[in-house]
Amino acid sequence: MAFNHSIKTGFSFGLTSGIITTLGLIVGLHSGTHSSKVIIGGILTIAIADSFSDALGIHIAEESENKHTHREIWEATISTLVFKFLFAITFLVPILLLPLSQAIVFCLVWGLSILCVFSFFIAKDQHTKTWKVIVEHLLIAVVVIILTHYVGVWIGSNFA
């Protein structure tokens, strides 16, 4: 990537968090409610509230390292906010355009594909085995998806 460190930090964090958090939310809410409206509300909440929260988290983390300029800290903060928002919001499109069960499958394929491609480039940049990085990142995402699915099932069956 040709990004500077601050933008790369925001892009990497925003992409990863935007995908994994939003997929977990979508799967959990779908398992518990089977409601497009609830899932749309959840995605918008993630895109707004969690994007700002993550941006502040990156801001504070970068400040705490005490090795970045004021400009670098704000570049990382704003790029985290923008990229998290953008990646999260992309999941609205299939929810709005497809039947819900198809949209969930599309979201899973879309999100995991983006994560695979990004992981591939990370591995290439680090000169490590691409399959190891991809498997590691996908495994974490799949664990989140499985856990949120079962939490959604549990909530749907106990608090309906």
Q: Is the pLDDT of residue 160 over 90?
A: no
Q: At residue 115, what is the residue type?
A: L
CA dist 72 to 1, 8, 50, 57, Å?
A: 17, 11, 21, 14
Could you read off the pLDDT of 92-139 as tens digits, one per residue?
A: 999 999 999 999 999 999 999 999 999 999 999 999 999 999 999 999
End-to-end CA distance of the chain: 47
What pTM was estimated for this model as a whole? 0.94
Write b or e for each residue in 94-121: b if 16 or more Cβ atoms lie within 10 A of its Cβ, otherwise e. bbeeeeeeebbebbbebbbebbbebbee
